Amino acid sequence: KSRMPEMAAAASGQRARVLRALGVTPYRLRTHATDGTSSLPDDIPLPADAPGAVALVTLLPAQAAARELDLVGHALKGFGAHFARAPRIRIASGEPAQTIPVAHVYLVFGRDQAQALGRVMPAAQVDAAQVLLLDAPDQLRHASVKRQLWQALKRARRALLAAAGQATAADWPTFRG
């Protein structure tokens, strides 16, 4: 008969007592599900003056490394399937690899990608959208840039909900970290 579960429970209790004695409050895992489902509906109502528009478009430099692209992909997945499915367009030498669709929110990594967006899209469409400019993905090794990405994704989520007329920022759980 294995005593492993009993030992694990005792160790967990001991750890909790030691942390409490030291005055340390341990972080807790989030209690909400992050199984890839999204709180955003798949059919966000789009303005009538933007037929064929998508919710979110991500513009990335063509030379971004696989690790950086994975980081961006995981961050998008953290906000649900709706964000995870957002088009990711690579831009090389100021030219997009494919046509940039009309969107409510553009998540732009780097100044060169923002300039390319301004050259390719009509000014009225860019003005109507929310453009979130972030540092280049090669800077994602820094905690401050990851925090900036997280905050930009929260702003994008709020903008999409406001466009859909569904919820306010107060309706979303607040994540600290």
At 48, the pLDDT band (50, 70, 90 cuts) reads very low
Q: How many CB atoms lie within 10 A of CB 120?
A: 17
What are residue 15's phi and psi, to 5 degrees? -60, -45
Considering only 13-17, 20-24, 34-38, which range has the smallest mean pLDDT? 34-38
pLDDT tens digit sequence for 138-154: 888 888 888 999 999 99
Residue 27 CA to residue 24 CA, distance in Å, equals 9
At 20, the pLDDT band (50, 70, 90 cuts) reads confident
Residue 154 CA to residue 151 CA, distance in Å, equals 5
Phi/psi-derived region of residue 51, left when phi > 0, alpha when psi is between -120 and 50, beta in every other case: beta
Considering only 14-28, 91-105, 121-135, which range has the smallest mean pLDDT? 14-28
pLDDT at position 23 over 80: no
Per-residue tokens: 66: 């696989």
pLDDT at position 176 over 50: no
% of the chain surpassing 70 pLDDT = 75
What are residue 82's phi and psi, to 5 degrees? -60, -45
Rounded mean pLDDT of 116-143?
88
- Rounded to an integer, what is the distance from CA 27 to the centroid of its chain? 22
Q: What is the largest CA-CA distance in the chain?
A: 72
pLDDT tens digit sequence for 72-104: 888 888 888 778 888 999 999 888 888 888 888
pLDDT at 109: 92
pLDDT tens digit sequence for 154-166: 998 888 887 777 5
